[in-house]
Each structure stands twice: as structure tokens, then as C-alpha cells.
Chain A
């Protein structure tokens, strides 16, 4: 085989593969129509090619076998789907362990107590002057916080040493005024996970909300 023929053969195979891949990715139904099960279609086609007159007769038995083969194929597909789900779960756990190893992990939580003087709209989080999270709260989420819910706002990695965390809270303050406040904490990240909590509470004596950051040792 000369080089021209080899190139043509490679390109043809590549073209057919790319097309089959694109069709199967775009429309499973179309792929099924375009490529009948080889076990069912190939023998019938082979018989038809060698004995043109016997083609209709040969196609019939192949059609009868098809449901049983489809059934086993369906079972195989179901089994494979289950394997994929199991594998996905294992990969997720592994990914969590790799991406957020306990030694470098830093987690930031948000909690809200009372909330009579502040309606939370958004929180922007900066660590070492770099914005790491900007979260908009829907009415339902704010309500969940008021009912005692604690939200994991951010999970990331930090190296050992001193770090600064700044949180900006925006929302409606007393008398429906637009309200924006910040809270800062400088913390030491040692070996082991670090947990910080952004706490929004009411300061009843001043009729103002209060924003604190608690470092869970």
C-alpha cells in the first residue's frame, strides 16, 4: 500500500468515526437508527449480499432474534450505568480529598441571629485581598438563615501562616435603608483545617445589626 492509499484510509476511518461520535453525542435515537445492532444487521446483510433472492426471507429470522438481543443489550447498558454512578461517587469523594485536603482546608460559614435590623442581600468574601466568593441571597435562603440554618459559603485551601479575611455584607438596614458593612479578621492557619463563621446578629441597645467573624479553634 502506498502512502496516498494509507492517508486516504486513515482519513476515511477518522471521518466515519468523527461523524458516528457526533451523531451519537447529539441524538441517541438518531444513532440507533443509523447503526443497527451489528449482530442483527450484519448476518442479514451478508446473506442479502450473497443471495439477492433470499434477502426478505433472511431478514425475517434476524428480526425475530432482535428483541432478545435488545433485552440483553438493555441489561448491559443498565449495568454499565450503575457502574458509572458508583465510579462517579468514588471520584467525587477522591476529588474532595485531593482538592481540599484537611491540612490546607479553610471553610467559611454564615449564620444569622434574629435579623430584625438587617435583611441580608449579599456577601462578598475576600481572602488576602483576593475576592473568592460573591453570593446573592434569595428571600428563601435569607429566611432559612433566620430560622437557624448555617450556610457553607466557601471551601478552599490556604497555606500555613497569617491570612486576612474580609467579608462585606449588603442588604437593608434599619428603616429599609441600603446597608453595607464589612468585618475583618486576621487568623493563623496552622496544620489542620480552619473553620470561620460570619455571624450576623442584632445589637438591640443600638438598634443596629452587628457583624462578627468567629474563629473556631
Chain B
């Protein structure tokens, strides 16, 4: 391979790397996009009305296998930290709200489940991988974005939550 080709290859890869980085703008450090959604119990909940509390927003779907493991873990976190000022909101992005409701019912979750059947909110939150867990601090700024879920991730959430609750 000639020197020119090598240099061209390097420049091209630098360009692509730059493009890839800029195509994944992160929400961290930015105000959390506000939303209002209907919850399973019929109430309408608006994110901005929880200003002053630490909010964990979990985007989930029936078809995302990891959601089955993550939701019970989030329920345990909610039970422990709810009184300390943590609000957990589960946002279903399933198109079929009825089946999502059945799924959540079977899980017997203690935190509000909201339905984003049009995926409008999911788009605002730049969801690329399901499930996705976002932590919003007391001033309404996104502080952590956790994409996907694997065993042990709930411990990471706990560290993040404790840090935000202490602020």
C-alpha cells in the first residue's frame, strides 16, 4: 500500500470517527425533555412536576427480554428509596398499550407505569437500545443514561441514585 493510500485511509477513518461521535449526541448534562403521559391508574403524569426529586425514568418494552429482569430490580429500588426522595417512572414504548398493561399487571410493580404508544417521548430521549434507564437530578438535568441491562447493573443504578440523593 502506498504512503498516500495509507494517509487517505487514516484521514477517512478520522472523518468517520468524528461523524460517529457527533451522530450520538448524549443527553447527559442537558435538561430532561419534558413529557406528560397517561399512567396505568388513569392519572396524567408530567416529568417537570417532579422537580426537586431525583427521577429514574425507565423505558421498557415487552419484547425487550432484559426488561423482565430490570423491572423487578427497579421495583426493589423504588421500595427502598421512595421515601428518600426518589421517583421511579416506567415508560412502556409498546405500541399495544393493552398488552403492555397486562405485562405490567403481571409484574405487580409499585411504581407508575406510563404509556408512550406513539414513541414520541422515546424519540426525544434518543433511545437506541432497550431497555434504557435515565437518571434526572433534582434540578431536572439528565445525569446518567444507562442503555441495556445486564445482571449487576442495578448496583450501578444504586450508586448513581445515592450520589444524586445526597446532592
A interface list, Cβ under 8 A from B? 4-5, 7-8, 11-12, 14-23, 25-26, 121-122, 136-141
Contacts and interface: CB of A to CB of B under 8 A. Distances in A.
DSSP majority for the B interface?
Answer: helix
B15 A11 contact: yes
A14 B11 contact: yes
Nearest to B21: A22
Nearest to A26: B21
Contact of A18 (B15, B43, B45): B15
Contact of B11 (A15, A22, A141): A15
B4 interface: yes
A138 B49 contact: yes
B26 to A, nearest CB: 7
B59 to A, nearest CB: 19
Interface in B5-24: 7-8, 10-15, 17-22
Interface string B15-53: 101111110011000000000111000011110010000
Contact of A11 (B11, B25, B45): B11
B127 to A, nearest CB: 19
Contacts of B26: 26
Given A15-B10, A21-B22, A140-B49, A121 B44 contact: yes
The 3 closest A-B pairs by CB, nearest first: A18-B18, A15-B14, A22-B21
Nearest to B25: A25
Given A4-B4, A137-B44, A138-B49, A15 B15 contact: yes
Nearest to A137: B44
B25 A138 contact: no
A22 to B, nearest CB: 4
A16 B14 CA distance: 7
Contacts of A11: 7-8, 11-12, 15
A135 to B, nearest CB: 8
Contacts of B20: 22
B36 A18 contact: no
Contacts of A122: 44
